[in-house]
Structure 1
Amino acid sequence: MKRGALYPVLYVLVALALFGRVLPVMGHSWIGLDADAKQVVYWLDLVADALRHGHNPLITHAIQAPGGVNLMWNTSMVLPGIVLTPLTLLAGPYATYDVLVIAAPLLSACAAFGALRRIVPSAAAAWVGGLVYGFSPALLGETLGHAQTAMAWFPPVVLLLVYEAVVRRRWAAWRVGLLLGVAIAAQLLIGEEMVLATAAIGACGAGVLALQHPAHTRAAARRLGVVLAVAGSAALVLAAVPLAVQFFGPYRPSGRLVPGDVVVADAGALLVPASRQLLRMAGLSADPWTLVTEDSGAYIGLPVMLLLLVAWQKLRSVSAAVTWAVPVVLITSLFALGPHLHLGGVATSIPLPWIVLDRLPLLENLDPARLMVLAWLGIALVVSVSVEHALRRQGRDRLVRCSLLAAALATLLPAAIPVTAATAPAYFASSDAANIPAGDTVLIAPLSDGSGLRVLIWQAEAGLRWRMIDGNAYGQGRTLYYAPSTLTDALAGLEFGAPLDVGRLRVGSMRDDLRRLGVGTVIVSGSDHQQQQVDLLRGVLGPETYAGGGAHVWHDVARLVTRRPTTAA
């Protein structure tokens, strides 16, 4: 084996050490938390099912009936879903998801290694930088449920291509632009948010470079302009059909999609490790300070911050890369804090720079906390340069420098990555579930709100044969979760602990909701407040027509809502 091929193999070993515990249960469990990962598993199954039946994988009618969902507006990972469809059909979506999650930091690290190898002379130093990026707290945090963000090969590829275009200039500008266009088109079908984030931070990086090297700005701008023009044209051609579906196709959402000032990095979490770090502070954790666990990877830590500071002071006179990277890391980390400062779990009214970008079209739908993934690319660059300079030393000086670097990086060691078993109520594998008419519209309680993504998995367990009225997705004129109505609001209220007042049920309005939505079957299963929801539906539809396998089921709802007299409260 050539020495150069050894470095990616080492990343494979690291990935297997982190995620290997899923291998014996692959296909029946998934890597990560019992939360957003279920959504990605569902998308993978949905794309494979669409291709198997010859349907458009960019549009689905399986959820948010009687309408549907435009997958281009969601984190659907269409390209990986298409590429891995044979695996999904053969081994199931859980196995496909686990393969993606294992591959995400591995590919990200390899991409970073390739980029850093162009910048630093030492392959070993570049390998360390790739390791720091691909297995950083931010990126490993995203593997807990956000595979589309954890698949972060795109920023290093952009860095590599821009470096080739502006600094090395060994490739023709049109060739660099063409490669960049292919990368953009691919990333658009993996996760568009990463394209937006890379563009925003890339623009800041270009600004820093222009301020630091004004004499070269004009020539670099001309060459970069050619690259971007070719890249944009190539990306538009390659992604023309998906983009046309997204912006001109059906079921397009409107307005702001993500809430502002929510999925942000807490300033305290930059210094205080979360429970996902192997080395933690006794009695203090950043876990409660972030709403979304998968996006709580803001931790850099004091040792790595000191490493950046020392590198800035000692190496900026000899390394243009460090001179550029440290300010970019600072800017990116500041942006990740969101529009207003959050400190120790407390949201303040102190405005931060992101408040300006937060008001721009498209960027308003970017979750700032995820920018920390890009911050780690800058940190990885500084680490690579620092390691390269340490390796140049001799004797004791070399040993001391390498030991200090190793000690600082040891604070980034992750704790064990959780594995979640895939479970579903027995009903969804029963003959009664199999007898639900294909294409029937089904209401399942609990509804698929943030805590109820499991119902998507249950629909997949039943073979995606029928449609659901809700679904955790952005659709036309719909919330992210269930469609608001008298009935769904009442069911959701019960799920969150509201008391059931049978005497105040608006039965007539609830039956109208069922007619309007075209519901053919109602299922209550696996709810934390199942009995109250069953009692509510008995008041609306009468006794259930089937009970078993942990579920209460009402079939032929159209008949049930017409046979019983309306007694609206």
Structure 2
Amino acid sequence: MPACAGHPSRAFPAGGPVSAVPTEDAVSREPASGPAPSGGPVPAAPRGPGRFRVSLAVLAGYLALALAVFRAAWADPGGVLYGASDSALFAWYLGWIPHALGEGLDPFVTSHLNAPTGSNLLWSTPVPLLGLLTAPVTALFGPVVSLNLLLTLAPALSAFALFRALLRWLPAQPAAFAGLLYGFGPYMIGESYGHLHLTFAVFPPLLLIALDDLLTRARPPLRTGALLGLAVAAQAMISEEILATSALIGGIGVVIAGLGHRDLVRARAGALGQGLLSCGTVAGLLLAWPLSVQFFGDQRVHGNIQPHNVAVSDLLTFVTPTPAQLMAPDAGLRHSARFTGNAVEVTGYLGIPLILGAAVIAVRLRRDPLVSLFAPLAVVAAVLSLGSRLHVDGRTTRVRLPWLALENLPVINSALPSRFALYLMMAVGIIVAVGLHRAALRGTRTARHRAGCRSGRGGRGVPFATCAGLAVAAAVMVVPLLPRAHVTTPTATPAFFTGDAVRAIPAGSTALVLPYPYPTRTEAMLWQADADYRFRIPGCYCTIPGPDGRAVFNAWTDPLNSALVAVEQGRLDADTALADPAVRGAFEQLAPAAIVLGPTPRRAELSRLMTGITGTAPTDVDGVELWLPRR
């Protein structure tokens, strides 16, 4: 979407570091060969119904693109997941929140997972707000459909949020282009493989709007702060990590703006303080209950959740495609395979054309208000994404980086550095959008000058040649980022869990569902959700305190659990497990009302183990083997 903005008609009100723009007359009077203005007229979209129609068209375009990206899910929206274990986890959460509230249960601390001890879900990623919003969809079609719906909406809404924010300073076309990069870049596409909480990235653009209102537009600080507080509370109920990293990047942005506009920031410091106080008050009131449960409730954890210096951007990440990109030559894939961390977290790829384009624009337009703010922010986000020690082609060097000073701070210590790629793409997208807009202005100005020399009248609109050139430039920067088709995983829930047969398990009882759930095998959690949480299950893929109170992601705490996982993984045979009296003792202590064995490659061995422990043969029911021990 090149910056072919049509006839520039008026500018938005001038304000501060990213609001001051010259009028059209000032631009048109400047010689075509002279220096670029510090800003540019902002025709954006027309106000009123016209602007609404433009926004609606852009949103429709984003939604259409999202449907194209996630088209595989919509062939069978209740039968496939993007990713595997993490996706099943989010499907469980989306179903649990409305179920718990509807049944009068605690939505945040439950023994439905990790029975009988339970889990404080707030230390995981329960996305309670999204669970509430999709409750009607979940009730009608199930949590997997809700998950696929949200994964489809997330990039479109995130892109649209940035588009709407940028209409304050840019016309619709370049603003839409920035939104496209932000909402559909490698970060968003990569994290959509199971990380729902990280793909709903509407909050960073909302924070940009709020800070602009407080610092440059003299909006009422108490009201602006209260609205920001609502957004903070909403974001906390989607992803605390995005909230924390947005606050960090936003604070750094305020410092950068202050260094370039000391008088303005000094004059607005009081309003900023009032706004932040109002924000904190509103957010604190709304979050008092969940935060008190998280930090003072049962099953809370201590210390950082994620390991340090693993999920980071390699120095080559920014120029090396991964399997997520459509254009990924073998040479690039050999390098990206060496990067540390989970493959879906390698999301900092920008591509050489986009990097070069953004760098040229940042240098040439360094006095532009938006560029002077977001060029340093892009560098900051890139450096933070590198983690605490520099990684080069998969090797960890001794070079220390700024994240080292942050990785042990409370709250921020559990953030993964590689995820700062979100803010890197946001900043780069804005820089390039400004460059496209300014190129369109220059082309228009030149055409007017030439037309005026010939006929005494200036032309209107952006010349076709300029539009074509900008379209080609935009395409060159975007094409390397095109995503490969998403890989889906079938849910394959046995009919037992969705039919009447599941009623054989007493409601509210504990059922040992196999394969035993742990971080890479979460079928049992998905089946439990499909059974409308009729029973509790031991094991989980969730954040629980280990023996020392620090976070672990599984519950291998007794001989039975350990044996079940070892047999399922092929590291132990059933006869050896049966010979261990501790395994039988742990089973007697758990005392499950039912054992349900679903499809798994080691099903025969697990069946032999359960038959030996219970002393009874299973019943084959609707795709599972069922034991109902007598007590």
Instruction: Give me the TM-score of the superposition, normalised by structure 1.
Output: 0.91
What amino acid is the match of 2:412? Answer: L
* Structure 1 residue 453: Cα displacement: 1.4
Q: Are 1:96 and 2:156 counterparts?
A: no
Q: Are 1:334 and 2:383 counterparts?
A: yes
Q: Are 1:498 and 2:571 counterparts?
A: yes
* Structure 1 residue 385: Cα displacement: 0.6
**Cα distance in 1 for residues equivalent to 2:162 and 2:421:** 15
CA contact (8 A) 2:215 2:265 kept: no
**Other-structure match for 1:22:** 73
**Other-structure match for 1:57:** 107
Q: Are 1:415 and 2:467 counterparts?
A: no
Aligned equivalent of 1:508, options 570, 581, 588: 581
**Cα distance in 2 for residues equivalent to 1:468 and 1:18:** 35
Matches within 5 A, 1:43-122: 43-120=93-170, 122=171
Aligned equivalent of 2:244, options 196, 220, 237: 196
**Other-structure match for 1:275:** 323
The 3-state SS of whatever aligns with 2:507 is coil
TM-aligned CA distance change 1:35 to 1:290, over 3 Å:
farther
**Other-structure match for 1:563:** none
What amino acid is the match of 2:427? Answer: G
**Cα distance in 1 for residues equivalent to 2:280 and 2:382:** 27
**Cα distance in 2 for residues equivalent to 1:479 and 1:405:** 45
Q: Deviations over 1:258-296 (max 9, x none)?
A: 222232233322211112222222443235635324322
**Cα distance in 1 for residues equivalent to 2:516 and 2:396:** 29
**Cα distance in 2 for residues equivalent to 1:533 and 1:454:** 15
**Cα distance in 1 for residues equivalent to 2:324 and 2:174:** 26
Q: Are 1:159 and 2:208 counterparts?
A: yes
Q: Are 1:459 and 2:459 counterparts?
A: no
**Cα distance in 1 for residues equivalent to 2:508 and 2:605:** 28
**Cα distance in 2 for residues equivalent to 1:549 and 1:268:** 50
Aligned equivalent of 1:309, options 342, 356, 359: 359
CA contact (8 A) 2:229 2:280 kept: yes
**Cα distance in 1 for residues equivalent to 2:350 and 2:292:** 40
**Cα distance in 2 for residues equivalent to 1:276 and 1:256:** 29
What amino acid is the match of 2:295? Answer: F
* Structure 1 residue 114: Cα displacement: 1.3
Q: Are 1:479 and 2:527 counterparts?
A: no
**Other-structure match for 1:207:** 255
**Other-structure match for 2:278:** 230
What amino acid is the match of 1:198? Answer: S
CA contact (8 A) 2:519 2:540 kept: no
**Greater shift in the superposed pair: 413-422 or 377-386:** 413-422
* Structure 1 residue 475: Cα displacement: 3.0
TM-aligned CA distance change 1:223 to 1:430, over 3 Å:
closer
**Greater shift in the superposed pair: 447-456 or 510-519:** 510-519
What amino acid is the match of 2:76? Answer: V
TM-aligned CA distance change 1:534 to 1:351, over 3 Å:
farther
* Structure 1 residue 69: Cα displacement: 2.2
Aligned equivalent of 1:442, options 511, 521, 524: 511
Aligned equivalent of 2:420, options 351, 371, 378: 371
**Greater shift in the superposed pair: 85-94 or 201-210:** 201-210
Aligned equivalent of 1:519, options 586, 592, 595: 592
CA contact (8 A) 2:318 2:350 kept: yes
**Other-structure match for 2:57:** 6
User: What is the percentage of aligned positions where both structures have the same residue?
Assistant: 30
What amino acid is the match of 1:184? Answer: V
**Other-structure match for 2:562:** 489
What amino acid is the match of 1:225? Answer: G
**Other-structure match for 2:538:** 469
**Cα distance in 2 for residues equivalent to 1:252 and 1:328:** 34
**Cα distance in 2 for residues equivalent to 1:518 and 1:474:** 24
CA contact (8 A) 1:287 1:296 kept: no
Aligned equivalent of 1:380, options 421, 425, 429: 429
Q: Are 1:356 and 2:405 counterparts?
A: yes
The 3-state SS of whatever aligns with 1:168 is coil
Q: How well do the aligned residues superpose, as a CA RMSD in angstroms? A: 2.4
The 3-state SS of whatever aligns with 1:44 is helix
TM-aligned CA distance change 1:496 to 1:204, over 3 Å:
farther
**Cα distance in 1 for residues equivalent to 2:131 and 2:602:** 35
CA contact (8 A) 1:76 1:190 kept: yes
**Other-structure match for 1:565:** none
CA contact (8 A) 2:614 2:629 kept: no
* Structure 1 residue 348: Cα displacement: 4.1
Q: Deviations over 1:361-381 (max 9, x none)?
A: 111111222221122111121
**Greater shift in the superposed pair: 264-273 or 86-95:** 264-273
The 3-state SS of whatever aligns with 2:216 is helix
- Structure 1's unaligned 5+ residue stretches are 560-569
**Other-structure match for 2:230:** 182
**Cα distance in 1 for residues equivalent to 2:398 and 2:496:** 49
Q: Deviations over 1:327-351 (max 9, x none)?
A: 2111112211222233333444543
* Structure 1 residue 230: Cα displacement: 0.9
The 3-state SS of whatever aligns with 2:332 is coil
TM-aligned CA distance change 1:181 to 1:522, over 3 Å:
same
TM-aligned CA distance change 1:495 to 1:297, over 3 Å:
same
CA contact (8 A) 2:142 2:530 kept: no
**Cα distance in 2 for residues equivalent to 1:547 and 1:196:** 49
Moved over 4 A (4+): 395-399, 429-432, 503-506, 547-550
**Cα distance in 2 for residues equivalent to 1:15 and 1:107:** 10
CA contact (8 A) 2:574 2:605 kept: no
* Structure 1 residue 157: Cα displacement: 0.5
**Cα distance in 2 for residues equivalent to 1:131 and 1:545:** 54
Instruction: Give me the TM-score of the superposition, normalised by structure 2.
Output: 0.82
What amino acid is the match of 1:540? Answer: I
Q: Deviations over 1:43-70 (max 9, x none)?
A: 1111122233232323322111112222
CA contact (8 A) 1:146 1:294 kept: no
The 3-state SS of whatever aligns with 2:552 is coil
The 3-state SS of whatever aligns with 1:444 is strand
Aligned residues: 554
TM-aligned CA distance change 1:149 to 1:503, over 3 Å:
closer
* Structure 1 residue 440: Cα displacement: 1.6
* Structure 1 residue 17: Cα displacement: 2.5
CA contact (8 A) 1:275 1:415 kept: yes
